[in-house]
Chains A and B, each alone.
Chain A
């Protein structure tokens, strides 16, 4: 029997809530223009790379952006606390995980998360004024928006798989009470 410390559980659930808030607010922002493009520009008269069959709603972006960035800041601070603690306490060990699990977590941590964050920052006219290299990295503003959308979709997919697995293996309680039953 091992335990998830209070800090691991607290950061985990804060992360869960901010992730949900990011996903919901992301959809709210998307509804204003559910068309995607490749390259630098994209607007009503240019052909879309693809278009989602969603009803355009222009009135949800205000709170959508506000919630998106509030949740993003909370996720960033929360993530820093978690990683700092993990490094200090040598929490990051892989021996408890299976190969596939390991691959999934590593690709999220070093692939999807950084790509989602960096493409999100590429949509900021202020951040890109300071770091125009972001445009070069992702091939333009609209490409960054499209990649942001797909990377976020994959993160949601990962969340669904993660939640399904923990429910199937009866591990949800361990992230609440901290108690992990081991065979």
Chain B
């Protein structure tokens, strides 16, 4: 029988073992109490979601009319307006970093890859929610296409309007994480991020970036932009938004 003293003595040992095992897979906390609590949330969600469940998908008749379009709805960027005028025929999505076959994917190339269509609820951090149908390529399929390295741990996304954010592989490889080019049966409208936006269904809406312009695969975030993992950090938004 294990004595109580022995049991108590083993708690720090087990704790440090757990920390050593997890340390590399946890987002950085920068010594902030808020970040620490968000990391506790992150870690507990990873336990809850260990079997990678899908979020609910709805029937098409549940699709919301006038799905809200917030933040940027038509980037003023000259290059973007030029691509839009040409129906995005010249648009390319560069994917680089820890991949064996860096590529500049055209919209046609993306559309030729196996697609997924899902009717899901968008949960805005403001409090509203709405349902839409999204069609696109699972991000995991695209990463496979470019030969993602085994050392890759994060996928970093940049947008036309200067936004950037990142996902770790747990969310990047989830089957419902899409590079979406279609919405409600048609092309993705400009106000919703044409030609391609991200869908990250198990986090708040602000992780689903619109107007994607570049993707980088990396093994660390501290040398990307300001090192916080997402532009939202500067505005007080948690990197992990599973809440």
Contact = CB atoms under 8 A, between A and B. Distances in A.
B235 to A, nearest CB: 6
B127 A145 contact: yes
Interface in A120-144: 123-132, 135, 141-142
A73 B53 CA distance: 24
Given A63-B236, A66-B37, A126 B242 contact: yes
Most chain A CB atoms below 10 A, which of B127, B203, B232: B127
A124 B130 contact: no
Interface string B202-242: 11100000000000000000000000000010011110001
B202 A126 contact: yes
B87 interface: no
A40 interface: yes
A43 B68 contact: yes
Given A66-B34, A69-B243, A129 B53 contact: yes
From DSSP, what is the main secondary structure of chain A's interface residues?
A: helix
Interface stretch (A1-9, A25-33, A92-100, A111-119): A25-33
B18 interface: no
Contacts of A169: none
Interface string A51-84: 0000000100111011101100100000000000
Contact of A141 (B53, B129, B235): B129
A45 B34 contact: no
21 contacts: A32-B125, A40-B62, A43-B64, A43-B128, A45-B65, A45-B68, A58-B126, A62-B236, A63-B34, A65-B125, A66-B38, A69-B37, A70-B33, A70-B34, A126-B45, A126-B203, A126-B243, A129-B202, A141-B121, A141-B123, A142-B129
Interface residues on B, range: 35 or more
A182 interface: no
Given A125-B202, A141-B121, A65 B238 contact: yes
B130 A130 contact: no
A42 interface: yes
A44 interface: yes
Contacts of A129: 49, 53-55, 201-202
Contacts of A44: 68, 128
Interface residues on A, range: 35 or more
B101 to A, nearest CB: 32
A89 interface: no
Contacts of B48: 126-127, 130-131
Interface string B128-166: 111100000000000000000000000000000000000
B184 interface: no
Nearest to A60: B236
Nearest to B236: A62
A63 to B, nearest CB: 5
Nearest to B62: A40
Contact of B49 (A43, A126, A141): A126
Given A32-B125, A41-B129, A45-B65, A66 B55 contact: no
